[in-house]
Amino acid sequence: MPTSDYDPACLPDLLPLYYRRLFPFSQYYRWLSYGGVSKNYFQNREFSFTLKDDIYVRYQSFTTQNELEKEMQKMVPYKIDIGAVYSHRPSQHNAVKSGTFQALEKELVFDIDMTDYDDVRRCCSAADICSKCWTLMTIAIRILDRALREDFGFHHLLWVYSGRRGVHCWVCDDAARKLSVAARSAVAEYLSLIKGGEETVRKVVLSDPIHPFINHSLSVVERYFCQYAIVEQDILGSKESVDKVLALLPEDILSFPVNANYSIKKGGQYFDKEIMLQYCYPRLDVNVSKGVNHLLKSPFSIHPKTGEKEYYQSNLLYTLLFKRLGAVGCLFFFFSSSRISVPIDLKELNTFDPFEVPTISLICEELERPRADEAEDDDVKDKENEQEAGERRRIRDYKRTSLAKYVKVFDRFLEAMARSRKGEMLQKSDLQKDF
């Protein structure tokens, strides 16, 4: 059977289906409205779309959930990015007096990309990932999640698998969305330990005293290090990689005292800890986190895998199948390995497998499988009005696919935020009543 080489050919067929019947619009809208506390929060949000043939459009904005749906179904974006909430509707930014159109708020975001670890992973490089190096993402999530919650006091974090080779974190607290550029950059720098590019060999330098944040991070790294670095990555397995490790140590290492805790320390330097951190500590791109107006890939967007071979292997076969079986029929014969960008459940982090994340063709295919209880649903359909019916159908639809469990994670996230908002409003009204 033909495989992923046919991606580009499939997306035009699969995406409309995805946006019509599977994309969780109501949850999405609920998220970005943030309880309607701020006026026009959703309306002033910028989205950007990457359309077919790599056409990129910015400053998209929508007034209602319905409009969002209609537009997405019409434009069929290959990729969706979310930007900032502006002072005016982004779609009308040209009509605004220059200088007054400004980005006001946005979630605090982090982007961890596996390519940034190429100098320390042996199993893969560039955009490839495998189960051996995925542990790096697990470590990154554990360290950053703890720090953002415990050190910075944030509560509402949405971790998302980017669809290919990394993870994103959306910090959605009120306080986070209001952070200035300087504050975002300060948070990102606080969380950064790996300094230096190609030219730098020793990228982590620790000195006494070690900050509690680093200690917390080290305890996470230490939990995974043996299994990850020694076993899976096998960093001591070849002369070349052993040399790389040795390059991080000073020449006279053999003469160092080893203290009771078996950490190698000389003059306040912690070489063993530094090595572990260099191999495992999260590498984040400060520039992604800094900008209030920075656009980041949206959850539930697909990751359009741009293949090198963009051709119909057999034009004739394709046309024939299409004519006979329709678009959906082709799905049985063509696969797209474009994965959906899905939320990650931190409770199940240790068992999260990026290769289990559904691809768009999988869920489209799952949609077409017949259902036992379809008959009774049809009765209900007749009674309600079309829009509601459409929505209920959609909810039933994704629930039939592998997308369901990820939408549930998203639902729980939204619930937590809603509860928290309610709590705050109660507090506020208490304060007022006291007077």
Partner 1 sequence: MQFPGRRKKLIGSSQNDLYDHCLQFYGQPPLENISLTEFETFAVERLKLLKTVENLGVSCVKNSEQYTKKLDAEISRISEYEKRRKDHISHFILRLAYCQTEDLRRWFIQQEMDLFRYRFNDLHSKHKTDFLHKNNLKYETVSAEEKKSLQDKLIASSYGLSGTKVEEHDVYKVPFQDALDLVRTRKVYLLAGNAYIPHHEIVTIVLNDFRTRLSKALAMTARSLPAVQSDERLQPLLSHLSHAYVGQDYSIQKNIGKISLEQIDALSGKSFPLCMRHLHKALRENHHLRHGGRMQYGLFLKGIGLSLEQALQFWRSEFVKGKVDADKFDKAYAYSVRHMFGKEGKRTDYTPYSCMKVILSNPPSQGDYHGCPFRHSDPELLKQKLQNYKVSPSGTNQILELVKGMHYQLACQKYFELTHNVEDAGFSLNHPNQYFTESQKLLSGGRDIKKEVDMSQRSQENPASVTRPSQANSKQIFLDEIQELSDPS
Helix, strand or coil, per DSSP, at residue 3: coil
Smallest gap from Cβ 356 to partner 1, in A, equals 35
Smallest gap from Cβ 268 to partner 1, in A, equals 13
Q: Which of 7, 81, 111, 173 is catalytic?
A: 111
Smallest gap from Cβ 97 to partner 1, in A, equals 18
Q: Which of 113, 232, 274, 397 is catalytic?
A: 113
Q: Would you say 211 or 412 has its CB closer to partner 1?
A: 211
Q: Would you say 247 or 431 has its CB closer to partner 1?
A: 431
Rounded to whole angstroms, the Cα distance separating 344 from 254 reads 44
Q: What share of the chain is helix, strand, coil (3-state, %, to 5)?
A: 55, 10, 35
Q: Would you say 181 or 321 has its CB closer to partner 1?
A: 181
Rounded to whole angstroms, the Cα distance separating 84 from 68 reads 16
Buried b vs exposed e over 122-151: b needs ≥16 C-beta within 10 Å?
Answer: bebeeeebeebbbbbbbbbbbbbbebbeee
CA 315 to chain centre: 36
**8-state DSSP, 233:** S
The beta strands (E) that lie in 232-315 are given as 265-266, 269-270, 296-297
Whether residue 53 lies in the annotated active site: no
Q: Would you say 175 or 380 has its CB closer to partner 1?
A: 175
Smallest gap from Cβ 215 to partner 1, in A, equals 8
Least Cα distance to 25 among 247, 299, 216 occurs for: 299
On whether the CB atoms of residues 252 and 93 are closer than 8 A, the answer is no
Q: Would you say 180 or 350 has its CB closer to partner 1?
A: 180
Whether residue 113 lies in the annotated active site: yes
Rounded to whole angstroms, the Cα distance separating 397 from 393 reads 6
Smallest gap from Cβ 166 to partner 1, in A, equals 24
Q: Which of 7, 13, 46, 107 is catalytic?
A: 46
Q: Would you say 151 or 345 has its CB closer to partner 1?
A: 151
Contacting residues toward partner 1, per CB under 8 A:
150-154, 175, 179-180, 182-183, 185-187, 189-190, 209-213, 215, 431
Whether residue 67 lies in the annotated active site: no
Smallest gap from Cβ 196 to partner 1, in A, equals 17
**Rg of the Cα atoms in the chain:** 25
Active site members: 46, 111, 113
